[in-house]
Structure 1
């Protein structure tokens, strides 16, 4: 494991701007790498988390022309933390608008966690527009996956954090924590919204880390980040991400011709490997890498190695 690949050096965008996508939303975008290089789009997680500088470093800047953007309500997109006109299918349409803006016929679609969900939804809607798929930490938006996080499962691995998460809600409402949190995250009282958002984001921060990371946890629970992630994530989960039960597995048939790589941490407590395995069974052609010492985050050594090797491979770069 000493020859693992690491992230490419920090890189600044060569272009950035805002795109009016209608419905009162404008989304922030940036392009990194070499103009005219292999086109790619990066889809961040959450939903609600926004993009970060390190995410640019998963691609060789000499070979790629990567577009990254803050999804509706996230990061520098406006209106901030808005739930109006903010669904999976709005985001799929936004990706197509961005592709048209870039002017490419096809592009590599790269997404982790919620970004893997959105990548699959986009590719299945526009199978002629995804040249390849690189996916991390598979989330298929099933009820069992939501229950793992908000009912029973992860609670057994992190009982002390679960006690804080569930304990924020009066006992009479704890039978349905997402609904109880929705009530508080959409409250007219700003202090009620912020308190709920920070606890919600704290719980997510715990489940995504294989080893404690105080700096990451501070970022997760910072006021603006917590509000966007908690409100938008809860909004999506309360609506089953606007997907029919089993839809992403059912419609894999539409994308089986697209070359793909899945990088999945064995010890991912946020999106456990069962979803990645189910996707592999429906899509035998995809390359599934289960990282034996990996969790959820792309910054973990084994996960980084798998993702960088995948992006290099699809740019025609040998190991």
Structure 2
């Protein structure tokens, strides 16, 4: 009996060893991770509150300032670059939030909501000290825009909010239930497992690169899941990204309730809002954004057909038409 047990154990160990060796061989190539702005002198940069951000400002310095806020948290503004067309009427500011995208990495204790709002305020003060600003936020960036409005309602002239996922605790619970279910599926779990092995070969040298690679890979697999309406049916999720900030993401999701008081304050703000939804998205799309818009006294809704969650990337011309009509 003991010999049989030992033989079985040996076979299992052999299978495990072969599986491990197979995974190592299958993930032996480079894992590309783009260098951060603090390590690449050629990247455009902005400095606020002692943090170096990957970003730039385009357009006439005398035009009204529009600040673009990307999603995530932890993402970057690459898929939103079509908004540069707004420089015809606005000075457009793009940036990756602190700890996110290609911006400088900071400690978790420096990734508070207050710090994020302070960065937006510092950018507004630096580039539009005497005038109101326009905010254009996507996904988490739309929530961040509303949080800023809650804290500084007179500083914002109007805001474009592209598919915020939730605005209160009940909305978060509904959103999280669907996210959790999809995150446990084989394609997402498999992507995370392979990325964990591949992360030993990241091309960037900073200490955040391996975890950024793993989380960024999982986030893309989640968005590209065949049952995820972040992309239109039959099409891949192809919105591009430079790099994902794992710690920025983990820090927020550890306690997303921190944003609720600021969002509550925004409900009573007298700021014109345009909620934008992708026509393909039955999760955070038209129905949810119509419900969100109904809670504000000065909100409108625009639906961009043949677009998923990344409305600007999927249908830039149609999205810009709706945004221009609102801003004009």
Report the secondary structure of 1:225's partner residue: coil
What SS is found at the alignment partner of 1:209?
coil
Q: Residues of 1 paired with 2:192 and 2:95: CA distance?
A: 34
State how many pairs are aligned: 263
- 2:252 is aligned to 236
State the 1:65 CA deviation.
0.6
1:148 counterpart residue number: 178
Deviation, 1:138, is 2.0
**Residues 54-97 of structure 1: per-residue CA shift (max 9 Å, x gap):** 525354322111111110112332127x5341122211110001
Secondary structure at 1:60 match in 2: helix
Q: Deviations over 1:203-245 (max 9, x none)?
A: 13444322534754xx55xxx724x2x4432331221162238
**What is the TM-score when the length of structure 1 is the normalising length?**
0.70
Q: What CA deviation, in whole Å up to 9, does each residue of 1:25-51 have, x standing for no partner? A: 332331112221121111111111112
- Following TM superposition, by how much is the alpha carbon of 1:111 offset from its aligned partner in structure 2, in angstroms? 0.7
Larger radius of gyration: 2
**Quick one: which of 49, 74, 77 aligns to 2:75?**
49
Give the stretch that moved more between structures: 66-75 or 203-212. Answer: 203-212
Do 1:266 and 1:273's aligned partners in 2 also have CA atoms closer than 8 Å? yes
Q: Which residue of 1 aligns with 2:323?
A: 310
Q: Is the 8 A contact 1:34 1:65 kept in 2?
A: yes
Q: Tell which deviates more after alignment, 95-104 or 133-142.
A: 133-142
Q: Aligned to 2:243, which of 220, 225, 248?
A: 225
* Residue aligning to 1:251: 265
SS in 1 for 2:124: helix
Alpha-carbon spacing, 1:139–1:196, altered in 2? closer, same or farther (3 Å): closer
**Does residue 279 in structure 1 map to residue 301 in structure 2?**
no
Map 1:292-303 to 2 at 5 A.
292-297=305-310, 298-301=312-315
Note if 1:17 corresponds to 2:45: yes
Residue 124 of structure 2 is matched in structure 1 by 99
SS of residue in 1 equivalent to 2:57: strand
Q: Greater shift after overlay, 32-41 or 108-117?
A: 32-41
Residue aligned with 2:147, SS: helix
RMSD of Structure 2 on Structure 1 (CA) = 3.3
Give the conservation status (yes or no) of the 8 Å contact 1:204–1:270. no
Deviation (angstroms), 1:105: 2.5
